[in-house]
Structure 1
Amino acid sequence: MQETATNRATDPGGGLTVGAAASHVGVTIRTLHHWDEIGLVSPSGRTSGGYRLYSAADIARIHRVLVYRELGLPLEDIGALLDASAVDMTVPLREQRAQLVERISRLQAMVDAVDRMIEAANAGILLSAEEQVAIFGQRWEPSWAAGARERWGDTPQWVQYAERAAGRTPEDWQRIADDIASLEADLAGAKRAGVRPGSAEANVLAERHRASIGVYFDCTLSMQVCLGRKYAADPGFAAYYDAIEPGLAGWLRDVIDANAREHGVDPESATWA
C-alpha cells in the first residue's frame, strides 16, 4: 500500500506516521522503509488506514541507530547491538571505540602534516635560525629562505619545495647540506684544475648540480640553465659562488650551458619550464 502526503502526518491516535517520523529524525522515508524491511526498526503500530505508525519507543530506537551508524557500524551489527543485553553489547562497542581511537590518531597525524606544510610554505624551512647556521655554515643567511618565498612563493616549484620541506628533519637537512658542501668543493676543485665546460667530467658535475636542485623541486635542464644564468648575473649569487672559488659563478654557468647543449637544449632559448 502506498503512503500519500495526507498519510504522513501525526496520527490523531498517537505516534508518527512514516513521513512525520522521517522529518522528525532527519532521514528519508525510503530509509525508514528499508530499515523496516530488514527488521532494524519496525513501526509498532498502524493507523486505521493501515499505514505505518511509529511510537515514542520506535523513535528512540531510530535515534540509537543513527548514533551507531555515525560511529561507522554496519546496519547488521547495529541490529544485534540494539537487541543485545547490556553485557553483550559492550564487546562490539569496545571494538568500535578502538577503531575510532585509531582513526582519530590517523586524522591527527594528517592535521599535523598539513600544519607542517603550511608552516613550511610560509617559513621556507622548518629550522630555527640557529639550527640553519649550524647545519649550513656561517656563510648561511637565515633570511634567504624568506627571500626565496617572496621571489618564488607563487610558483609550483615553491609548493613542491614546501611539501618536501615539511617532512624533513634536522638530520635530513644535515645530509643535504653535506652533499651540497661536497658538490661545491668538487666544483671549485674542477675550476682550479682547468676542467673545460662540455667535457665528460664537467657534464657529470652539471648533473650532480641539477640533482642537488632536484632535492628541493623537480629541475629540468632548461630550468637549470635559467638558474646558471642567475648565478652569474645576480650579485648575491655571484658573490656566494665566487667566495668559494674566484670566477666559479661564471664557470658553473658555462658548465650548465654546455651540458644542456649535450642533451639537446639550446641555452639561448631556455625557459623556466
Structure 2
Amino acid sequence: MAAVIARVLMHTAPTPGRETVATARSAPWSRATGAAQQLLPAVLALGRLTEHLVSDGAFESDSAGQRPPERPMETGAAGLIHRRCRIAPVGAQAPDDRPQEPGAGGAEVGLRRTARGGWELLQGAVVVRDAGPAWPAGARVTHDLARRTPPTAPPVPTGPHPPGADTDSALRDVDTPGTLTITAADVRAWADATGDHNPIHLHPGAAHRAGLAVGEQELVAHGLLLGALSLALTPTTGVVDLRFPGPAALPGGGAARLGVLPAGGLTIAGRTVLVRR
C-alpha cells in the first residue's frame, strides 16, 4: 500500500506558498508508510466484512445464485459503494457512531442492514486485533456501505451518491493548497495491494451500472485510497473519520486531478469526494 501512496504523492503539483503538499512530495516514503499503517485496519476490516457478507449469503455472484468460493473482494463486493469509514482504538467510540458491537458468541464482525429509496444500506463493525504498529491495542473499524436494489435496477441520474451520504458544499477547489494526479493505473495498483477488486474501481461502466452518477466509460477510485492520500498529506493521531460524499471518477484509461484542502479533504472539479472529521 505504501508504494502506491508514494507513487501518487510524487504526482503532486504544489501551489506556491503552501507547504503541506510540497512536504509530502519531498518525503513520499515516510508519509506513505505512516498513512498505510494508519489505514491498515480499515483495509483488513473491509476484506473481513466482505467475507462475512459472502458467507452469510448476502450477495450472490451470478444469476444462478452460486456464491463465490474464493476471492470475495472481487465477487462479493461487486456494486458495493463506500460511504464512510471510522477507525478507533478498541474500546473507544468512533464519532457519530451508533452503538453497535460485533456479533454475539465472540464473533468480531457486526452488521446492520436497512433499505431506503432503492438502496440497501449496510453498516459493518469489525474488531481488528492484528491492526499493526499504528494501533498496538487493536482497532474497531466501522464501514458504511450501500448497494442498489434490486441488482438489475438502472443507474440513478439525479445524484452522485446513495441517500443519506454526507455532503459539504462549502469545500471548493479555490481553497486547495495543491493538487494530486491520480491515474487508472494507480487505482489498479491499489486494488492489487489491498485485494479490493470491486468492479466499480476497475471496469469502466460498472460504477454507472451500480447507481453512481458517473460516465459510462469512467471508473471510481477506492475510498480508502483517497483516505490514505489524505492521511499522508495531513497526518493525524487517534480516531480517523473519513466520509465519501461523492464518487472520485476518472476515465478508464486516464487520470483525474484531486484538489487537496487544508483539513485533508479532497475534491474533483469543485465536487467534494472526501471529508475528514
Q: What is the TM-score when the length of structure 2 is the normalising length? A: 0.20
Q: Which has the higher strand share?
A: 2
Structure with the greater alpha carbon radius of gyration: 1
Q: What is the TM-score when the length of structure 1 is the normalising length? A: 0.20
Choose between structure 1 and 2 for higher RCO, CA contacts under 8 A separated by at least 6 residues. Answer: 2
